[in-house]
């Protein structure tokens, strides 16, 4: 009789699956289920990826799994194939990919949560209960309005004890919530214009088969309405929708819009949730209780009982790329997942990445254009403010301040964009020129005046503020502007106006983003200051003026994508203005108003910029006209990373058509106390590039120079440095 060999993915830095025998008792663990296995001295949880009949390890040396944790698969065949593909493509250990795909409690071996029950009231609260047990009466009245799930966040604190007492009196019942066969309670939204209707119809026509579609629409063109229209049809057919967004800050607004319009359960997945909340949402998606799943990049792996449509909003955004651990692009994995599961995937953006634009131009992706804002709203007027003629004081020029006053007096709101948090990006000695530099990085500390600390934005190191220069004892001066400094300056110019700041410092507390954005939409906040977080997909109907405080930060970047990112940021930020009936205005402060990138955006918009940038990339042979990968190395001793990469290059013959550049020190050579270097691999053919990566990977741990070096690959890197 043939033995069944379990191929198990274990979270270990080894590029292999591990073979185990089936458990000695009990049912055979199916592919996609978890098992606990012996692994050296550990007893980790692994994911069964497949069954086999043979093993490279002699059968007598194979051990049986210790415990079967799931009787039914957590992941279906398509998701197991996606996990395996991700490991191969990104040169990652399959166990690491499987671990990324599971919430932390499942990785620890904890069971799936019990399905939530419904609390159903059997009538309103009697009058006497309002006097004798007001909390129970309030709960009963809440449930009388409509049944609530036991995980509903609107249930009051301590509701369980009150519900138990009410249930004992027969006033409340706990019912098992049935799985909906379909969701048909969507309400109609605003009428779609011709371009929106065409795009929505094309997406619906693709349901049930694979297609990749770029939804390229100007800011404010109504892309979300198209998502909602297609999602409503999906739900009517009993299919689920997965929506990926780049930032946690985008989820509250989208969740509210999807839940209110579709009238169906929405699950949310992002890093700001507790482990328990993430697991509940993950299980709701897997079981089919959630009709819509909205999440950040790791949600690309969430299992769906009845998948129907995948949407990637702001597909160009770098936040959809994971830069630590498993380094992957959620956008690209969404496309691959849709292909494996035969689903349509929609990539939406007002500023698509050049890779996606080329796919659309070459016919690999379908293209839907939204050239206009619906309802008669027009694109904002953009003006460059020449800082050589109008010097800025604390980031604010006279034309910007004057325009702010005019818009505020007219009842509009103002948004200022500065992609630099803290009070000042440097602390400088006025006498000897000493600058406060990070102890662990080749970078300067940023001064955060609110907390009176110096903080490195690269490694997170903090230190106290010195009273004087550490070299000569002279006074120290903050140099440059961050969002804190801008906020203080605006408070002096507009003392009677409520100002809010959105950056990673002001939104650390749970719910802070929602509170700030609600105040903006309610009109209480009149001036909003923010970093990159604010430029992504938010809709502020009363914002009539957007000011870009410093457009020069990305004009002269060394990375070949610097221009693309600056253009995307400027267009996205500018698009926050004039999204309703009021016309919008954008002021861009720059010391280089004649720069070709700015002039191209002014005269032709993002589409003109993208065409010019694609031609430059084609001529230079950069992506999307070639493929890149980087072998990065880090070590705690200087030169060790460079020595290791040099040995890798000497020991490996790159396939024909693959250029290997380096090794070279990283531009920030020291970061977080480690010295960094890299090898760049470039090829016009993706198979040749991956052949080279496999060769380098096979050597990486075997070379004597690998001792004390940490190395990893980045495939399709979003930055070279």
Average pLDDT value for residue range 504-509: 76
Q: What's the pLDDT score for residue 2?
A: 67
Average pLDDT value for residue range 340-349: 97
Distance CA 77, CA 31 (A): 8
CB 38, CB 66: distance < 8 Å: yes
CB 368, CB 216: distance < 8 Å: yes
- Residue of 716 and 148 predicted with greater confidence: 716
Tokens in use for 10?
């274990």
Asked if residue 15 has pLDDT above 70, the reply is yes
Tens digits of per-residue pLDDT, 670-687?
999 999 999 999 999 999
Asked if residue 579 has pLDDT above 70, the reply is no
Asked if residue 77 has pLDDT above 90, the reply is yes
Q: E strands of 434-505, at which residues?
A: 446-448, 453-455, 462-464, 476-479, 499-502
What is 377-422+482-620's CATH number, 3.60.20.30, 3.40.50.300, 3.10.450.200, 3.40.50.10680? Answer: 3.40.50.300
Q: How far lies 551's CA from each of 105, 386, 556, in Å?
A: 44, 11, 11
Tens digits of per-residue pLDDT, 410-459?
999 999 999 898 999 999 998 898 999 999 999 999 999 888 899 999 99
**What's the whole-number average pLDDT of the chain?**
90
Q: In the chain, where are the structural domains located?
A: 5-107, 117-176, 194-375, 377-422+482-620, 627-715
Asked if residue 537 has pLDDT above 70, the reply is no
Q: What's the pLDDT score for residue 523?
A: 84
Average pLDDT value for residue range 218-244: 94
Q: What's the pLDDT score for residue 448?
A: 93
Distance CA 600, CA 570 (A): 12
pTM: 0.90
Q: How far lies 86's CA from each of 92, 285, 323, 327, 328, in Å?
A: 8, 21, 15, 10, 8
Fold of 627-715: Alpha-Beta Plaits (3.30.70)
Asked if residue 575 has pLDDT above 90, the reply is no
DSSP state of 15: S
- Residue of 130 and 486 predicted with greater confidence: 486
Are the folds of 194-375 and 377-422+482-620 the same? yes
Burial class (CB in 10 A: 0-12, 13-18, 19+), 79: buried
Asked if residue 1 has pLDDT above 60, the reply is no
Asked if residue 377 has pLDDT above 70, the reply is no
Average pLDDT value for residue range 287-294: 95
Average pLDDT value for residue range 125-141: 84
What is 194-375's CATH number, 3.40.50.1820, 1.10.10.10, 3.40.50.970, 3.40.50.300? Answer: 3.40.50.300
Q: E strands of 297-409, at which residues?
A: 307-313, 344-349, 366-370, 381-386
What is 5-107's CATH number, 3.40.50.720, 3.40.1440.60, 3.20.20.30, 3.30.70.1520? Answer: 3.40.1440.60
Low-confidence winner among 95-104, 289-298, 329-338, 644-653 (lowest mean pLDDT):
644-653
Asked if residue 536 has pLDDT above 80, the reply is no
Q: What's the pLDDT score for residue 167?
A: 87
Tens digits of per-residue pLDDT, 18-63?
999 998 888 899 999 999 999 989 999 999 999 998 888 888 899 9
CB 365, CB 214: distance < 8 Å: yes
Percentage of the chain modeled with pLDDT above 90: 61
Tokens in use for 281?
């949402």
Residue 529 bridge partners (DSSP): 416, 501
């Amino acid at each position: 009789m043939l033995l069944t060999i379990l191929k198990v993915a274990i979270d270990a830095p080894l590029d292999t699956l591990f073979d185990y025998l089936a458990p000695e008792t009990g049912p055979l663990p199916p592919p996609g289920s978890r098992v606990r296995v012996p692994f050296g001295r550990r007893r980790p949880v692994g994911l069964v990826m497949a069954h086999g009949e043979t093993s490279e390890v002699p059968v007598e040396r194979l051990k049986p799994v210790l415990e079967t944790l799931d009787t039914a698969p957590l992941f279906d065949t398509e998701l197991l194939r996606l996990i395996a593909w991700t490991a191969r493509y990104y040169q990652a250990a399959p166990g690491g990919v499987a671990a990324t795909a599971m919430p932390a409690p499942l990785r620890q071996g904890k069971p799936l949560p019990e399905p939530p029950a419904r609390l159903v009231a059997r009538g309103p609260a009697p009058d006497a209960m309002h006097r004798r047990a007001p909390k129970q009466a309030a709960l009963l009245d809440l449930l009388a309005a409509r049944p609530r799930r036991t995980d509903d966040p609107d249930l009051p604190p301590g509701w369980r004890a009150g519900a138990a007492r009410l249930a004992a009196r027969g006033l409340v019942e706990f019912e098992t919530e049935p799985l909906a066969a379909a969701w048909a309670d969507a309400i109609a939204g605003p009428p779609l214009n011709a371009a929106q209707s065409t795009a929505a119809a094309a997406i619906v026509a693709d349901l049930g088969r694979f297609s990749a579609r770029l939804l390229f629409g100007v800011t404010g063109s109504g892309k979300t309405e198209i998502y909602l229209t297609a999602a409503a049809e999906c739900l009517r057919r009993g299919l689920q929708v997965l929506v990926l967004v780049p930032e946690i800050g985008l989820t509250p607004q989208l969740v509210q819009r999807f839940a209110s319009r579709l009238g169906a359960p929405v699950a949310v997945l992002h890093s700001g949730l507790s482990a328990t909340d993430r697991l509940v949402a993950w299980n709701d998606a897997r079981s089919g209780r959630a009709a819509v799943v909205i999440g950040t990049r790791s949600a690309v792996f969430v299992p769906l009982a009845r998948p129907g449509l995948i949407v990637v909003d702001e597909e160009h955004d770098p936040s959809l790329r994971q830069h630590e651990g498993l380094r992957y692009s959620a956008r690209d994995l969404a496309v691959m997942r849709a292909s494996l599961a035969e689903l349509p995937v929609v990539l939406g953006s007002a500023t698509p990445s050049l890779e996606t634009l080329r796919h659309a131009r070459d016919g690999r992706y379908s293209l839907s254009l939204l050239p206009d804002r619906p309802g008669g709203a027009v694109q904002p007027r953009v003006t460059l403010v020449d800082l050589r003629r109008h010097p800025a004081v604390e980031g604010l020029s006279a034309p910007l301040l004057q325009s702010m006053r005019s818009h505020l007096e007219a009842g509009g709101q103002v948004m200022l964009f500065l992609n630099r948090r803290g009070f000042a990006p440097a602390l400088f000695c006025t006498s000897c020129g000493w600058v406060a530099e990070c102890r662990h990085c080749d970078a300067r500390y940023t001064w955060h005046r609110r907390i009176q600390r110096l903080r490195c934005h690269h490694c997170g190191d903090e230190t106290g503020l010195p009273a004087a220069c550490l070299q000569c004892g002279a006074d120290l001066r903050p140099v440059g502007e961050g969002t804190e400094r801008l906020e203080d300056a605006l408070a002096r110019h507009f003392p009677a106006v409520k100002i809010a700041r959105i950056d990673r410092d002001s939104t650390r507390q749970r719910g802070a983003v929602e509170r700030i954005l609600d105040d903006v939409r309610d009109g209480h906040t009149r001036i909003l200051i923010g970093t990159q977080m604010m430029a992504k997909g938010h809709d502020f109907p009363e914002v009539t003026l957007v000011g870009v405080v410093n457009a020069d930060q990305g004009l002269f970047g060394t990375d070949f994508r610097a221009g693309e990112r600056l253009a995307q940021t400027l267009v996205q930020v500018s698009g926050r203005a004039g999204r309703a009936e009021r016309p919008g205005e954008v002021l861009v402060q720059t010391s280089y108003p004649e720069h070709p990138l700015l002039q191209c955006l002014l005269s032709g918009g993002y589409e003109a910029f993208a065409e010019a940038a694609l031609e430059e990339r084609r001529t230079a042979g950069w992506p999307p006209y070639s493929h890149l990968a980087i072998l990065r190395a880090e070590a705690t001793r200087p030169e060790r990373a460079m020595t290791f990469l040099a040995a890798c290059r000497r020991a490996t013959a790159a396939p024909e058509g693959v250029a290997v550049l380096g090794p070279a020190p990283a531009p920030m050579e020291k970061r977080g106390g480690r010295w960094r270097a890299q090898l760049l691999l470039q090829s016009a053919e993706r198979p040749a590039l991956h052949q080279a990566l496999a060769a380098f990977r096979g050597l990486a741990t075997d070379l004597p120079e690998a001792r004390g070096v940490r190395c990893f690959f980045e495939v399709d890197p979003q930055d070279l440095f």
